[in-house]
Amino acid sequence: MEKKRFLSGDRPTGRLHIGHYIGSLQNRIKMQNSGEYEPYILIADVQALTDNFNNPEKVRKNVLEVAMDYLSCGIDPNKSTIYIQSLIPEVAELTVFYSNLVTIARLERNPTVKTEIAQKRELFGESVTYGFLGYPVSQAADITAFEAELIPVGEDQLPLIEQCREIVRKFNSIYGETLVEPKAVLSKSPRIKGLDGNVKMGKSLGNALYLSDDLDTIKEKVMGAVTDPERIKKDDPGNPDVCMVYYYHKLFSNEDTCRNVCEECKAGKRGCVACKKQLIEEINSALSPIREKRHYYEERPKEVMDILMAGTENARKVAKQTMVKVKKAMKLDY
């Protein structure tokens, strides 16, 4: 039996952080290692340009950074096809075809697009570009070009997957059953809060903990984490449920440690500084193998580029096959 394909990716606008890792990367790695799927991982440089068209250098530089993050946290090029979006022209072609199947009003109602437009006022002013408003259409092309069935992503991506599903249904109802309708796969913690207490961790929010952060950086970020504001003295009883240090212990520490943190905090028997120091150890032991592997690739950018090129060649073959089906269905098979 053919393996189900899964596909996911990231915009190369910066290094990947813990939010990406826990929200979706870990799921991709698990699915990859199960051997049950055929994985495709894209570095979405064209999509990154939709909100960085004025900064091509940044996108170019981060293609390599994201690729190194992938390789160092366990995406294995022998098991997964890792590729660069802009080198698959079929995706651009599909985007044009799909743009007839989606209305401007529907794009403007997409909650993810709406939130992002609000955050990018400085770039877009009063009027957003056609390219940015339309990026869900190109994301639908990314997914359908590979006939991907499963999409491991963070919660913020759900409206984009939903919009892709609508495009697929519309395409199939007009041109005949051709495209595969994908499903999102969410992790247990699809959205990670920042150490500052923000509901989301993000590069632009300035609260991200990066996979590549060194011990000193981790220390600095964790020492600045928001704890229970009502707890003034060390032996005051604390409320772990409002404390970001406890929240992060739940992400990085084992059950016993979490239980101790919770009980000792409530009893006023655990100081915040000691609790933070313990968390620093836990985070550092999770990140240090990733960091070490990353150093290896940082010294060998050519090896990373070769992996991307080999993946892209493989990916292109698949996208071409889908294109033949799509053109036939649309009577463009001259």
What residues make contact with ligand TRP under the rule CB under 6 A? 7-11, 42, 44, 47, 139, 142-143, 151, 153, 157
- Quickly count: other Cβ atoms within 10 Å of residue 129's Cβ: 13
CB of 151 to ligand TRP, least distance (A): 5
- The helix, strand and coil proportions of the chain, stated in percent and rounded to the nearest 5, come to 60, 10, 30
CB 24 within 8 A of CB 8: yes
Which one, 132 or 247, has the nearer CB to ligand TRP?
Answer: 132
Local structure of 326: helix, strand or coil? helix
**Which CB sits closer to ligand TRP, 158 or 258?**
158
Write down the least CB distance from residue 44 to ligand TRP, Å: 4
CB of 19 vs ligand TRP, minimal distance in Å: 11
Q: What residues contact 7, with CB distance under 8 A and at least 6 apart?
A: 39, 40, 41, 42, 142, 143, 146, 148, 150, 151, 182
95 vs 227, which CB is nearer to ligand TRP? Answer: 95
The DSSP-derived string for 47-92 is HHHHTTTT-HHHHHHHHHHHHHHHHHHT--TTTSEEEEGGG-HHHH
Compare residues 222 and 319 and give the one whose CB is closer to ligand TRP.
Answer: 319
CB of 164 to ligand TRP, least distance (A): 8
CA distances from 169 to 165, 180, 201, 202, 325 (A): 6, 9, 33, 33, 16
Q: State the minimum distance, in angstroms, from the CB of residue 265 to ligand TRP.
A: 35
CB 187 within 8 A of CB 27: yes
Q: Which position's Cβ is nearest ligand TRP?
A: 44
Give least dist CB 142 to ligand TRP, A.
Answer: 4
Choice between 72 and 138, CB closer to ligand TRP: 138
Compare residues 133 and 151 and give the one whose CB is closer to ligand TRP: 151
Q: How far is the CB of 59 from ligand TRP (least distance, A)?
A: 13
Q: Which is nearer to ligand TRP, 29 or 283 (CB)?
A: 29
By C-alpha distance, which of 145, 105, 126, 131 is closest to 47?
131
Residues 6+ apart with CB under 8 A from 156: 112, 191, 200
- Report whether 105 contacts 148 (CB < 8 A): no
